[in-house]
Amino acid sequence: MAEIDVRTVYPNRFYASCDLLAAQPAPVTGWWDAWGMSDPAVAPPVADLVPLTADQWNGRLTGGWGVQGGALVAMTEEQLAKAVPLAIRAGFALTAAQNVVWAEYGSLGDAVPGAWISYQKALKAIVDGSDTASTTLPASPAGGSDAG
């Protein structure tokens, strides 16, 4: 089997994927670092992806993102609520929060601030269904919303 020349197949390093048949803006369903993949054959065809700049890639965990007209766009909480169930958004936010907490505190052996613990517990309750009253995500201790 011939080896794939990833930089020829994927001329941009970073991409987002979404349901191309969904109403737009369609929420991003995947993030791809094409040049960093160990097996590029698992990625969607480049024609089904939206190329990203390095700044867009680096900001991918800062909010809810969608694709409109072939471009990455920020989605409002209202657009996200229509397109992606709250529990799914909470799961994404929980994963992002866990990454931040580990990088900023756990990996250094520092105590995790109570605000981060409370935030993660609130997200976990939405994910596991024990919180049935929330209609929006809690605010992130980092500021803003982890609606992505």
pLDDT digits (tens, 9 = 90+) for 2-18: 566 889 999 999 999 99
Instruction: Give the ranges where 28-106 is alpha helix by DSSP (H).
Output: 54-58, 77-83, 86-104
Q: How many residues does the chain have?
A: 148
Looking at residue 30, its pLDDT comes to 92
Whole-number Cα distances in Å, 81 to 16, 52, 76, 89, 104: 20, 24, 9, 9, 30
pTM of the entire predicted model: 0.61
Instruction: Give the ranges where the chain is alpha helix by DSSP (H).
Output: 6-9, 54-58, 77-83, 86-104, 114-128
State the DSSP H helix or E strand holding residue 17, giving kind and residue range, or none if neither.
Answer: strand 14-18
pLDDT digits (tens, 9 = 90+) for 30-50: 999 999 988 878 889 999 999
Q: Is pLDDT at 147 greater than 50 in this prediction?
A: no
pLDDT digits (tens, 9 = 90+) for 67-112: 999 999 999 988 988 888 889 889 989 998 999 999 999 999 999 9
- For residue 125, the tally of other CB atoms under 10 A from its CB is 16
